[in-house]
Amino acid sequence: MDLALVLFKRECALVLRKPGDALSAVFFFVLCTTLFALSINPEPQLLRALGPGALWVCALLASLMVVGELFESDWRDGTLEQLLLSPLPLPATVATKALARWLGSALPLVLVSPLLGLQFELSGSALLLLPFTLALGTLALVFVGSIGAALTLGLRSGSMLLSLLLLPLYIPVLIFGALAVAGAQNGSGFEAELSILAALCLLSVFFAPFASAACLELACE
């Protein structure tokens, strides 16, 4: 636990040292949702119908920016090899790095989401549910994205390959996250979708570090 705490503090310090990199996903999310709202018919009914899906698609694309450099800098400066040799199990190392990256880059995205939801005239219940679903969803996306980041580590065209690998895996989270917000908006219920989203989050947090650790060991051999 002490080693994990030290690593977590190090990752948080790295995020704070380069706030522009950490907040780039938030800026992209804000810009993308704003442009989407401006580009469609301003009819309130249409905005409410498209809002949940538009917000979730923009959040998904922003999450790709969060995981892109998860291991790259450590691999370039040799820190990753030291982490492989440390007493801390590699899956715990991956989980710690992913959690710190989520807190530094994805959590601000979650916090600003209700303000962006106002552009689509979402109801009060949908605005309250939106950040909760995005918190679960982005946490799952970051942990699943760590697998793709480990698989594409060191590749010349890794960012393009990363997107191709992760988008199919992200689709279930996107579907149930958007459906939960849409259900709250329409008053048709969201409990089932929210339960499935929470289950996807738990499965990702538990299994993804082990898969990422195996990919990192292969990349460093």
Cα separation, 161 vs 55, in Å, equals 24
DSSP annotation string for 87-117: SS-HHHHHHHHHHHHIIIIIHHHHHHHHHHH
pLDDT of residue 180: 94
Higher pLDDT, 3 or 128: 128
Comparing 40-44, 92-96, 165-169, 175-179, the range with the smallest average pLDDT is 40-44
pLDDT of residue 100: 87
Radius of gyration of the chain (CA): 18
Cα separation, 43 vs 160, in Å, equals 36
Where residue 156 falls among pLDDT bands split at 50, 70, 90? low
Q: How many helices (H) and strands (E) does the chain have?
A: 10, 0
Cα separation, 27 vs 126, in Å, equals 22
User: What pLDDT digit, counting tens, does each position of 79-123 carry?
Assistant: 777 878 788 888 888 898 899 889 888 888 999 999 999 998 888
pLDDT of residue 29: 92
Cα separation, 31 vs 54, in Å, equals 12
User: What pLDDT digit, counting tens, does each position of 124-148 carry?
Assistant: 899 999 999 999 999 999 999 999 8
C-alpha distances in Å from residue 13, one per residue of 22, 27, 156: 11, 21, 28
pLDDT of residue 157: 63
Mean of all residue pLDDT scores within the chain: 86
Write the DSSP symbol of residue 119: G
